[in-house]
């Protein structure tokens, strides 16, 4: 798939972020519904990480590149988590979410660098995740007394960093197989962090019930079924 096509597809998650922004302005789902959707999104992202990115690493040409790329991924994710605990104010919150969008775009672009199928499945997974990013940023900016029009404009502008990340991945895709393996390891760590430390943590804070927990496995199985249908 061409880089131009990958960039156009990356606009799908951006659209989801803006939709999440509008949704937050008009309707805020209850705790259990929010938790259920977050569990579902976590299952989809986890399936993408385990079923699509991990196999790319199993055929990697260098164990050391995987170790280095994964270690950098861990360091970056922990730094983002620490930054999230320290920041306050509209500008700081927006900058943190912007970094998240940029990394998501990089992960998506690396998926397309692996294969079209991997890229498409990651698009499905990240669209759900970015939907919540847009929703979360909207709610946080709303608490800071930012006007609705400014919130929508901010979410749309920040969302455009996702295609920027995809463009950066297009450059990375030209690197040697050894270096590319390191970036795939970084992508895998990023996705797993997203599931375990963001989506599921926030989901359990919102509320829990057996049917809510089952949504994680529903999302996981859905992506496996899509994977099978795509061959």
pLDDT digits (tens, 9 = 90+) for 113-157: 888 888 999 999 999 888 888 888 887 888 787 888 888 899 999
Across the range 158-176, mean pLDDT stands at 93
pLDDT at 183: 92
Across the range 21-25, mean pLDDT stands at 78
Q: For residue 208, what is the DSSP state? A: -
Task: Report the percentage of the chain scoring pLDDT > 90.
Answer: 43
pLDDT at 25: 67
Spacing of C-alpha 4 from chain mean position = 20
pLDDT at 145: 79
**Residue of 170, 59, 198 lying closest to 106 (CA atoms):** 170
pLDDT at 47: 93
Spacing of C-alpha 103 from chain mean position = 8
Phi/psi zone of residue 89: left (φ > 0), alpha (ψ -120 to 50 degrees), beta?
Answer: left
Higher-scoring residue by pLDDT: 13, 207: 13
CA angle centred on 42, ends 225 and 4, rounded to 5°: 70
Q: Quick: pLDDT tens for 74-99.
A: 999 998 888 877 777 777 788 888 98
Whether the CB-CB separation of 56 and 113 falls below 8 Å is answered with no
pLDDT at 115: 86
pLDDT at 194: 87
């Amino acid at each position: 798939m061409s880089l131009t096509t990958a960039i156009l597809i990356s606009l799908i998650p951006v659209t989801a972020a803006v939709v999440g922004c509008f949704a937050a302005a008009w309707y805020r789902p209850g705790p259990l519904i929010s938790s259920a959707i977050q569990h579902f999104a976590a299952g989809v992202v986890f399936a993408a990480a385990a079923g699509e990115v991990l196999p790319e690493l199993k055929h990697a040409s260098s164990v050391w590149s995987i170790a280095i790329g994964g270690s950098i991924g861990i360091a970056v994710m922990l730094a983002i988590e620490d930054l999230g605990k320290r920041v306050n104010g509209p500008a700081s919150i927006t900058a943190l979410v912007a970094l998240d969008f940029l990394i998501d775009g990089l992960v998506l672009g690396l998926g397309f660098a692996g294969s079209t199928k991997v890229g498409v499945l990651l698009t499905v997974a990240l669209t759900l995740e970015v939907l919540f990013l847009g929703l979360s940023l909207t709610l946080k900016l709303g608490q800071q007394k930012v006007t609705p029009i400014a919130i929508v404009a901010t979410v749309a502008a920040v969302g455009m960093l996702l295609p920027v990340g995809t463009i950066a991945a297009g450059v990375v895709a030209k690197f040697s197989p050894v270096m590319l393996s390191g970036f795939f390891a970084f992508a895998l760590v990023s996705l797993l962090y997203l599931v375990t430390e963001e989506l599921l943590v926030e989901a359990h804070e919102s509320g829990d019930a057996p049917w809510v927990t089952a949504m994680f496995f529903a999302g996981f199985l859905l992506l496996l079924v899509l994977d099978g249908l795509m061959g």
